[in-house]
Homo-oligomer: A and B are copies of this chain.
Amino acid sequence: MYETSHFQQYRNLHREWARPDFINLNPIQRGGILSEEARKALLEFGDGYSTCDWCPPKEARLDAIEKPPISSFYQDLAKFLGMDVARVVTRCREAKFIIFMTMTRPGDIIVVDSLAHYSTFLAAELAQLEVVEVPNSGPPEFRITPEDYRAVIERIIKEKGRPPALALLTHVDSHYGNLTDAKKVAEVCHEFNVPLILNAAYTAGIMPVDGKTIGADFIVSSGHKSWAASAPTGILAMKEEFAEKVLVRSKRYPNKELALLGCTVMGAPLLSLMASFPHVTERVKKWDEEIEKARYLVSVLEQIEGTRQLGIRPKQHTLIHVQSDGFWKVSQQHPRRGYFLYDELKQRRIVGIQPGLSKHFKLNTYGLSWENIKYVGDAFLEIAKKYQLL
C-alpha cells in the first residue's frame, strides 16, 4: 500500500550535533545533556511501559512503583527541592497547566512576569485565564523586581476587589538569563495571600533551589532542560497544603490522580531523570564556578566591536544574550548574510547558536570545562579579528 523506499530517511537517524568533538552552546540544551548513568538507564528501560513490570495492583500508579525506585525518587525529588510532594509529568508546561486547571477557574486572573516562557502563556490561555503581566525595566537590563509584583497585585485588588488567583515567577528567564529574587517575590505574594508558582526550568537541577528558603508554593521544572534527562519530563512539586487540590483523585477511579490522567512518563525519560539525580544533586554545588565561566566568556565577547551582553550585569546565570552590532555589520556585506557566524563557528567545531543570527544571539556555557570555555572565547576573537572587529 505504501512506498517504503521513501522510509529510508527514518533509518539510521543521525544527530550531527551529538558528535563528541563538538562544543554545543545551544541555550536550551546545556542542562539536558545526559549523564553516563542516564544513557545506560535509557537503554535498560527503552522498551515501552518498561517501568510497569512491578506496578502495585492496588495503587496502580506510577508514583507507587518501588522497583525501579520511582516512589522513593519522588520523595527525594521533593526533598531536594525543599518541597513536600513531587510528581514527574510530561513537560514543565504541563506542570503549569495542571496547576492552573486545578487551582483556578476559567476567567480568573493570574499574575505572570513579562519575561515568562511562551509555554506559560499557552498554559494560561488553555486554562482560560486572564494574564496580567509584571513589567520589566526594558533594555538593556530587562530587570523584574519584587516591587513590580507588588504594584501589579495592588492594582488588581483595587480594580477587581480581590487578589489574583495565582502568581508565577520565571526564576531565570529564557530571553536574557536574568535571575529574579524569588524569596522576595514570594514574600510580596504571601502578603496578599497569593500562592506563588516558581518556574525553575532554567534553575533547579543546575543551581541550588530550595523551595523552603524561597517560600515557593509550587516549583515546576524541566528534566530535559536542566536535570540531565531525556525529553519529555517535567517536574511538578508543591507544598502539602495544595496536594489534595492539584493531585485530586478521579471520582470513578479513586486511586488515579485526575489532572495527571493517571500515570505520566511510563518509560525511559523518567528513568534517565532518576539515573542522573545523584549527579544533579552534586553538580548544583558547583554553580559559583559556572557563573565564573559565564562571566569570563562575556568579558571576552565584549572585546569585540559593538558587542555587549544584555540583561542583568554581571551574569548570575549561564544563559547569555549577546547583542553584536559588529557581527551584524559583517553580515550585511557577507554572501552568507547572518549565516556567516554559524559557518565560522561550525568550522571550529562550535554549534548551538541559532543559524542565521548575528545581531542578537543566545548561548549557554553551562557545564563546559574551562578548556572549552577558553577555546570558545578564542574562536570568537579569531572570527572577530578575521572581519576586523578587534
Q: Is residue A73 within 8 Å, beta carbon to beta carbon, of the partner chain?
A: yes
A10 to B274, CA, bound (A): 6
The residue among A2, A12, A51, A268 with the most chain B CB atoms within 10 A of its own CB is A268
Q: Is residue A104 within 8 Å, beta carbon to beta carbon, of the partner chain?
A: no
Q: Is residue A347 within 8 Å, beta carbon to beta carbon, of the partner chain?
A: no
A93 touches B262 (CB 8 A): yes
One of A165-173, A253-261, A310-318 contacting the partner: A253-261
Which of chain B's residues has its CB closest to A93's CB?
B261
Contacts of A28 in B (CB 8 A): 49, 52
Given contacts A28-B52, A50-B231, contact A90 B80 (CB under 8 A): no
Within 8 A of B (CB), among A42-76: 42-53, 57, 68-69, 72-73, 76
The residue among A9, A17, A91, A261 with the most chain B CB atoms within 10 A of its own CB is A261
One of A144-152, A275-283, A286-294, A373-381 contacting the partner: A275-283
This chain: copies in complex: 2
A332 to B41, CA, bound (A): 39
B274 touches A232 (CB 8 A): no
CB-contact partner of A267 in B41, B46, B232, B253, under 8 A:
B232
Contacts of A12 in B (CB 8 A): 37, 40
Contacts of A356 in B (CB 8 A): 57
B261 touches A13 (CB 8 A): no
A residues contacting B by CB (< 8 A) are 2, 4, 6-7, 9-18, 26, 28-29, 31-34, 37-53, 57, 68-69, 72-73, 76, 79-80, 90-91, 93-94, 97, 101, 118-119, 121-123, 125-126, 222-225, 228-232, 250-253, 256, 258-259, 261-262, 264-269, 271-272, 274-275, 277-278, 281-282, 351, 354, 356
Would you list 10 pairs from A and B whose C-beta atoms are within 8 A, ordered by A residue?
A10-B277, A14-B68, A17-B50, A29-B47, A46-B272, A90-B90, A119-B262, A121-B250, A125-B250, A232-B269
